[in-house]
A and B are shown apart, each in its own frame.
Chain A
Amino acid sequence: QEQLVESGGGLVKPGGSLRLSCAASGFIFSDYYMIWIRQAPGKGLECVSFISSSGTTIYYADSVKGRFTISRDSATNSLYLQMNSLRAEDTAVYYCAREEVAAFHYGMDVWGQGTTVTVSS
């Protein structure tokens, strides 16, 4: 069964750090782009960061550039998001998702259950 499971969320003070993890199973991890999407309370979806299947292409939203770092480990089929200098506006549910990208994009077809990050003093 193809599955993504996030972990690492929690309550952190402004300026603090967290590392989110996303464990993939049931599919060939290295075949897929991996994406972090967040959803602030009562708000819509925002693509925070993604990393290509090879790891050579990385994107960050302007709102997190310079503070967040995405990485992937094919040996453990894991995706990570290192979040530093956290702000109140980073409070959200963070989802990881996969997308097959060949000549075209095929949609984010598997999502994790999400992990909640709360930034508050």
Chain B
Amino acid sequence: KQEVTQIPAALSVPEGENLVLNCSFTDSAIYNLQWFRQDPGKGLTSLLLIQSSQREQTSGRLNASLDKSSGRSTLYIAASQPGDSATYLCAPQTGANNLFFGTGTRLTVIP
């Protein structure tokens, strides 16, 4: 069964700082990997989807990379803002209909 680990579990940074969130997974036979953000008590908002054949995907200030063979993905957030405060989740897709989740990284950006 796919195991997903996200490090760090919590991160607090001053506004404007660049930061990296890490995700590792045990089964490298994935079809794609998706990054989400979740605000407290709310649903998940999709940020980026990286197909297994891709190495990188960018959307605005966000850049996600994927190293499938080593079972790792990173989410880079540039020039962080207080509105970026949320829990960030990565979810590799293994099998036809299954996203596996870790417990996420809780980010706080201090004004």
Whether both chains belong to one complex is answered with: no
